A and B are shown apart, each in its own frame.
Chain A
Amino acid sequence: MIGNAADLVIVHLYPDLLMSYGDRGNVLTLVRRAEWRGFSVRVIGVARREQLPTTIDLILIGGGSDRIQGLVGNDLAGRGRELAELVGGNTVILGVCAGYQLLGHRYVGVDGGEVRGLGLLDVTTTAGATRIVGRVSTRASFDNRSFDVSGFENHAGRTFLGAGVSPLCSVPKGKGNNGVDGTEGAVNGSVVGTYLHGPMLPTAPAFADALLVRALARATGGAPLRPLDDSIEEAAELSERTRHRKQLTSRGLTRTSTWANWGRAHRLPPRERSSSRAAPTDGHAAGSSVALRLPA
């Protein structure tokens, strides 16, 4: 928008590359929640080699495979100074999964290859031999408040936090940033990184609004936002939290799976077997064990 920006300008970085886990849902949530309150919103997708607009209130960087991360790494590193200046001007940045890793100092892949990050979060990531996979329901701390959040993590990276950031959430051992220290995600001022997709914001309306309050500061001066009816979002989050808790107690707490484990797990009818709520399944594929479990 020339000289007449929308109330909220969202930049979705590399929308066609870093997009592997419903990242679009986070964008859509922020857009709708601003629109429902009468704000005008503009979303700008910025691909490799494309210029950033001059006014940006919020930047979203999503998830992607190691290969894709390598493809955007150079382009992103070249934007380091520009993005640091934006953060100085209070632009909100949310990085999810690969996007989170790239907000840190660097990402060292399985093959030892290093992708330089933006250094906007004091975190460093090294790929582990196993992936941390599974549901997470916890609380996120941001702007001195805390919010219910639920999501799904799936990453090989082990991220360790430096002194310059606070963890976004706390999680059981085996989950989160590195599976060891019980932290998930990282925050420094208006820069937020998390491994939780799901995507996270659609069922975390209060957290989405906290990001919006900051992002809309240019239009509102940071005033609180008019409440919306979030009953559908909250019910979904609560239901996921409740199911998740039940599954934790019936399955044991953690689920850090390796590729080799998958092979084993999928030769036997897996976890759902013991759950009376779950429909019959055969691990991955199909009707096989269904025949055994259907009532005669």
Chain B
Amino acid sequence: MSHWGSGSSLPGMIAEAVSPGFIRRRARLYASVALVSGTNGKTTTSSMLRAILDGAGASTVGNESGANLRQGIATSLLRVPVATALAVLEVDEATLTNVMPELEPRVLVLTNVFRDQMDRFGEVERVIELLERSCDLLPEDATILANVDDPLLWPALEHRDPVGFGIRLLQAPASVPSMRVETEVCSRCGEPLVYTSRTFAHLGVAGCSGCSWRSAEPTYVGTITERGGLRLVTLEVAGERLTLPTGGVHNAYNAIAAIAAADQLGVSMSQAVQTLRSFQPRFGRAEQVQVGGRSVWLALMKNPGAAHVLIDEIADDPRVGSVVVSVNDAAADGHDISWIWDVDFERLVRAGLPLVPSGKRVGDVAVRLKYTGGSVEPQHPDPLDAITAALAVCPSDRSPVVLATYTAMLSVRKAFGGQVASLADAPV
């Protein structure tokens, strides 16, 4: 399957124009509809869920290319399904309330809430409000599966009896976060949250210092037993060991969310774990490409939350030898790139990693990296030039990592031509 071919907006737009009520009618043809929303992890969680359901013999449709606005969703529903098919759709946070009444999902997965595209949403509170309102539009018997480790999201849903999933760490993280991504205050009383454990950024087990609010216990829990940088992460789920061939705590969250949703749809957790063992990452979610016989890692850095979890993985990874930081500011990236100042690039400098600024906002990235106080490599707006420069300063037994915003990642992949797609498409 091609990353590019499966989801455009135009066919869905036409379908809705010529056939009003298209989404509602098509959604009825599915045995079940599952929706995935939240800031980070929508694409990976829904493609993991589809893999699990497909692996269990179901026939699924979805919008894996990430076209998650109304037309993209309509496009995903164009194919007439077989009788027992399931639809797994990732839905943009602002689109959720708009399509919910028509889709009538059985399961709604809410991954997390982070600062993202603030030029579009205004405030992170606005996103929480949208997710909360969308829950009001769910059918009576639908299940809300939500990240119990997100103290911004969970309290807003608590009164609607969500089912929680969460991640526990066997070992405490190597370092305490040096900077906050979100304002960590109680949703009820506004006093500071105190964490007893933290997985990344504002996610973890917390309690309020001012009132009685505390994180709830997860119904579905994954315990991370081993971290292998961007390469792999091992977690224990329902007594089974699951090594994901794509690293990072965030992917552990995606996996437990998908396993929880699959369980709600009737696929056993052990069967889900079995399928995820061979799950392949999608679109820059820690993909590996070959350049002149050397490996380069590609990692999508959508927002400061995503940047934090990636830096957690690469800063202490002895396989990483240099880092390209590629930032664009198109609509899909967010026009406002001020968040790069809330990313702990200092940690990469302390790890001794050479940093190469890139992207359309290469100048601003260079300034950000200069003010880490470390040395900065010359600027390369073009991603391929930046990768070449990163390879030149990377020890031969290590690999460069490319941290890129959404459209910057598109440029990187385009520069590699078919290579990335063919690599990801190859059966493993």
Chain-A contact segment, one of B3-11, B139-147, B236-244, B261-269: B3-11
Chain-A contact segment, one of B49-57, B63-71, B312-320: B63-71
Q: Are A282 and B336 in contact, with the CB atoms below 8 A? A: no
Q: Does B322 contact A (CB under 8 A)?
A: no
**B402-419 Cβ-contact flags toward A at 8 Å (1 or 0):** 000011101100100000
> Chain A contacts of B332 at CB under 8 A?
281-286
Q: Does A248 contact B (CB under 8 A)?
A: no
Q: Separation in Å of the B327 CB from the closest CB of chain A?
A: 12
A88–B184 alpha-carbon span in the complex (Å): 34
Q: Does A292 contact B (CB under 8 A)?
A: yes
Q: A236-B363, A279-B407, A285-B68 are in contact. Are A25 and B9 (CB under 8 A)?
A: no
Q: Does B330 contact A (CB under 8 A)?
A: yes
Enumerate A249-281 residues with CB–CB distance to B below 8 Å: 259, 262-263, 266-267, 269-272, 277-281
Q: Are A280 and B180 in contact, with the CB atoms below 8 A? A: no
Q: Separation in Å of the B257 CB from the closest CB of chain A?
A: 19
Chain-B contact segment, one of A61-69, A158-166, A171-179, A218-226: A61-69
Q: Are B183 and A22 in contact, with the CB atoms below 8 A? A: no
Q: Does B15 contact A (CB under 8 A)?
A: no
Q: Does A51 contact B (CB under 8 A)?
A: no
Q: Separation in Å of the B420 CB from the closest CB of chain A?
A: 13
Q: Are A281 and B183 in contact, with the CB atoms below 8 A? A: no
A25–B115 alpha-carbon span in the complex (Å): 17
Q: A154-B119, A236-B364, A263-B94 are in contact. Are A282 and B330 (CB under 8 A)?
A: no
Q: A16-B192, A17-B183, A154-B118 are in contact. Are A285 and B72 (CB under 8 A)?
A: yes
Q: Are B183 and A287 in contact, with the CB atoms below 8 A? A: no
Q: Are B363 and A267 in contact, with the CB atoms below 8 A? A: no
The closest CB in chain A to the CB of B10 belongs to: A292
Q: Are A22 and B339 in contact, with the CB atoms below 8 A? A: yes
> Chain B contacts of A281 at CB under 8 A?
330-333, 406-407, 410
Task: Tell which of B5, B117, B180, B371 touches A28, judged by Cβ atoms closer than 8 Å.
Answer: B371
Q: Are A202 and B367 in contact, with the CB atoms below 8 A? A: yes
A28–B185 alpha-carbon span in the complex (Å): 24
> Chain B contacts of A288 at CB under 8 A?
7-9, 65-67, 69, 71-72, 75
Task: Tell which of B122, B338, B342, B373 touches A32, judged by Cβ atoms closer than 8 Å.
Answer: B373
Q: Are A25 and B119 in contact, with the CB atoms below 8 A? A: no
Count residues on chain B whose CB falls below 8 Å from chain A CBs.
69
**B1-29 Cβ-contact flags toward A at 8 Å (1 or 0):** 00111011110000000000000000000
Q: Are B330 and A239 in contact, with the CB atoms below 8 A? A: no
Task: Tell which of A24, A68, A203 touches B179, judged by Cβ atoms closer than 8 Å.
Answer: A24
Which of B71, B117, B122 counts the most A-chain CB atoms under 10 A from its CB?
B122
> Chain B contacts of A239 at CB under 8 A?
363
The closest CB in chain A to the CB of B72 belongs to: A288
Q: Are B122 and A282 in contact, with the CB atoms below 8 A? A: no
Q: Are A21 and B338 in contact, with the CB atoms below 8 A? A: yes
> Chain B contacts of A71 at CB under 8 A?
185, 190
Count residues on chain A whose CB falls below 8 Å from chain B CBs.
65
Q: Are B75 and A199 in contact, with the CB atoms below 8 A? A: no
A47–B190 alpha-carbon span in the complex (Å): 13
Q: Are B8 and A278 in contact, with the CB atoms below 8 A? A: no
Q: Are A25 and B10 in contact, with the CB atoms below 8 A? A: no
> Chain A contacts of B370 at CB under 8 A?
232-233
Q: Does B123 contact A (CB under 8 A)?
A: yes
Q: Does A131 contact B (CB under 8 A)?
A: yes
Q: Are A267 and B71 in contact, with the CB atoms below 8 A? A: yes
Q: Does B217 contact A (CB under 8 A)?
A: no
> Chain A contacts of B8 at CB under 8 A?
287-292
Q: Are B366 and A236 in contact, with the CB atoms below 8 A? A: yes
A13–B98 alpha-carbon span in the complex (Å): 39
Task: Tell which of B68, B335, B410 touches A135, judged by Cβ atoms closer than 8 Å.
Answer: B335
A68–B126 alpha-carbon span in the complex (Å): 13
Task: Tell which of B4, B336, B361 touches A294, judged by Cβ atoms closer than 8 Å.
Answer: B4
A23–B283 alpha-carbon span in the complex (Å): 31
A6–B408 alpha-carbon span in the complex (Å): 42
> Chain A contacts of B160 at CB under 8 A?
none
Q: Are A232 and B363 in contact, with the CB atoms below 8 A? A: yes
Q: Does A148 contact B (CB under 8 A)?
A: no
Enumerate B344-378 residues with CB–CB distance to A below 8 Å: 360-361, 363-364, 366-368, 370-371, 373, 376
Q: Separation in Å of the A43 CB from the closest CB of chain B?
A: 13
The closest CB in chain B to the CB of A279 belongs to: B407
Q: Are B71 and A21 in contact, with the CB atoms below 8 A? A: no
Q: Are B69 and A131 in contact, with the CB atoms below 8 A? A: no
A262–B75 alpha-carbon span in the complex (Å): 21
Enumerate B84-111 residues with CB–CB distance to A below 8 Å: 92, 94-95, 98
Enumerate B27-71 residues with CB–CB distance to A below 8 Å: 43, 65-71
Q: Separation in Å of the A260 CB from the closest CB of chain B?
A: 11
Q: Does B303 contact A (CB under 8 A)?
A: no
Q: Separation in Å of the B358 CB from the closest CB of chain A?
A: 13
Q: Separation in Å of the B64 CB from the closest CB of chain A?
A: 9
Q: Are A287 and B371 in contact, with the CB atoms below 8 A? A: no
Q: Are A272 and B330 in contact, with the CB atoms below 8 A? A: yes
Q: Mind listing 7 A-B residue pairs with CB under 8 Å? A: A20-B183, A25-B338, A131-B122, A233-B367, A239-B363, A282-B67, A286-B72
Top 4 A-B pairs, shortest CB-CB distance: A286-B66, A288-B67, A236-B363, A25-B341
Chain B interface residues toward A at CB < 8 A = 3-5, 7-10, 43, 65-72, 75, 92, 94-95, 98, 115, 117-120, 122-126, 179-180, 183-185, 190, 192, 283, 328, 330-333, 335-342, 360-361, 363-364, 366-368, 370-371, 373, 376, 406-408, 410-411, 414
Chain A interface residues toward B at CB < 8 A = 16-17, 19-25, 28-29, 32, 47, 64-68, 71, 131, 133-135, 152, 154, 156, 197-199, 202-203, 232-233, 235-237, 239-240, 243, 259, 262-263, 266-267, 269-272, 277-292, 294
